[in-house]
Amino acid sequence: MARGRSLSEWFQSHPRIQRWLNGRLPPIHSIILTQKQIFIFLSREGLLFLILLFITFIAGINYANNLVLGFCFFLASVLVIGIHHTFQNLSGLQVQWMDAQDAEAWTRTRVRLRVGATRHKTHQHIQLLWEGEKHWLTTVQAPQIVEFELPVGQRGPYGLPRLHVETVFPLGLLRAWTYVRFQSEVWVWPQSAEVNRVGTGASTNGEQQVESQRVAGMDDFEGLDTYQPGQPLTRISWRHLAQGKGWFIKTFSDPVSQHAELHYEQMPGPGHEERLSQLMYLVYLQESQQQPYRIHLPDQQSPLGVGEAQLALVRRLLAQCPPFSEDRRI
């Protein structure tokens, strides 16, 4: 198995074969394995079996022993039949992309795949290998979910490597395998880097960029708005309806006494990536204090908010912030 795996890894990493694979196995979202995608070769045990065939054949010829020659031909037929069954065990397997989670730089992302059989057949002993993580599927018939935790690198888009799918069933003499490259990517947000809030424009003490605002809420009456079907009847202004002035609904708001404006240009980091990491630290700080915030990047800004949805949005913005060819200060 070790030699077969080394062969398949070499097969994938060799530059010329890599270019050939890119044309033969393009990125996909879902695939059903056929003859076009499946490769097959002898496993380590298969190579030993081949040596046994050769020795048996030489012995039969040398001693003119028909029984030994017949045994050699029988073993050869077993090997040929094994090629067919090993290929058929992988053929028809469906591998489908489901989803992946964005991740922090230099950590791991969780990826989910759906693996199932087609044409009412059953696949036995399928192995999935992805970035050093292995999953053994003893029997594959009904679709099942397989989860991987893959390591990610630096901030930005992370192109997923090829998934390695293989089997040695039923005899272990041959290894059938393929590579699946998904037409998806994961966004990686920066790691946080501690920074002093003083001098960053992120203070909320009322002397730096702090504003008093109100957001939709339940506490204070703010005004009247035109009633839309589906809005709660408890908020309808019945007094205006009784006076024949039409259908209106009461709106309420909650005061937001302080919020932070987090500016990329005011981060003290020496470079582009350092500033994004410092912004990430201040975002976590605002979230821990449950204070609304807005981040300002060179090309866009986030809405004002706080909570899980706001944090997910800000992480994606920081992950998608384009890299600079040269770090700059403003």
194 Cα distance to chain centroid: 28
| Dist. CA 251–CA 227, nearest whole Å | 10
Smallest CA-to-CA distance from 318 within 143, 164, 182, 189 is with 189
Smallest CA-to-CA distance from 158 within 109, 97, 99 is with 109
Q: 174-203: per-residue pLDDT in tens?
A: 999 999 999 888 999 999 998 876 545 554
Cis, bond preceding 170 (omega within 30 deg of 0): yes
Q: 66-110: per-residue pLDDT in tens?
A: 999 999 999 999 999 999 999 999 999 999 999 999 999 999 999
Smallest CA-to-CA distance from 169 within 258, 84, 236 is with 84
Say which residue, 257 or 57, is predicted with more confidence: 57
Confidence of residue 287 (pLDDT cuts 50, 70, 90): very high
- Report the b/e string of 118-144 with b at 16+ CB within 10 A: eeeeebebbbbbbbeeeeebeebeeee
The mean per-residue pLDDT over the stretch 251-278 comes to 82
What is the amino acid identity at position 96?
A: Q
Confidence of residue 29 (pLDDT cuts 50, 70, 90): very high
| Dist. CA 299–CA 320, nearest whole Å | 11
The mean per-residue pLDDT over the stretch 272-285 comes to 94
